[in-house]
Structure 1
Amino acid sequence: MKVKFYATFRELIGRKEIEVHDIKTVGELIDYLAKHYSPEIKRELLESPRVKEAGKAIDGMILVNGHNVLHLKGLDTELKDDDEVHIFPPAGGG
């Protein structure tokens, strides 16, 4: 599957796009990225204070084939090798 990164995540991973195979869920994908590229991506997506305070599953946005995983099965959203995943960091502003 193609995984595309945006803004600060592009800097963390060091690439704007990668291709991975045999990853079954969004949670597994995040673990893979943390292990092989940067542990910081997992911290920002899953362990930020905003996740704990707001009770959110993910801080940022992950789209699988254009659908936000928060509207699917969250970290348990199933992935296939022909999927396209887009990972955006948390947005700031006011």
Structure 2
Amino acid sequence: MKVRFYATFREIIGRKEVEVHGVRTVRELIDYLAEHYNPKIREELLETPRVGPDKPVDGMILVNGHNVLHLDGLDTELKEDDVAHIFPPAGGG
């Protein structure tokens, strides 16, 4: 599957896009990215104070254009031909 990164996540990973194989869920995808590229991505997505029961990810992950929060969250299933987009949290005021 293709994974595309935006803003600070692009800096963390060091690329704008990677190919990933063998992951079955969004949670496995995050673990894979942390292990093979940079553990900071797990911290930024899953371990901030803004993460909680109603918000399992700090930022936004789209799979084929659908926000995983509206699917099965971190348990959203992934297929080899999927495209995931990982965005940092939106800022502003």
Aligned length: 93
Q: Does 1:88 align with 2:81?
A: no
Q: Which residue of 2 aligns with 1:15?
A: 15
Secondary structure at the counterpart of residue 50 of structure 2: helix
- When the two structures are superposed, what TM-score results if normalisation uses the length of structure 1? 0.95
The AA in structure 2 aligned to 1:3 is: V
The AA in structure 1 aligned to 2:68 is: V
Deviation per CA, 1:34-93: give whole Å up to 9, x if none. 1111111111111101114x7411110000000000000000000000000000011111
- Point out the structure with the larger helix share: 1
Paired residues for 1:24-43 under 5 Å: 24-43=24-43
What is the CA–CA distance in structure 2 between the aligned matches of 1:92 and 1:9, rounded to whole Å?
14
- Runs of 4+ residues deviating >3 angstroms: none
- When the two structures are superposed, what TM-score results if normalisation uses the length of structure 2? 0.96
1:22: Cα distance to partner?
Answer: 1.2
Q: What are structure 1's unaligned runs of at least 5 residues? A: none
Q: What are structure 2's unaligned runs of at least 5 residues? A: none
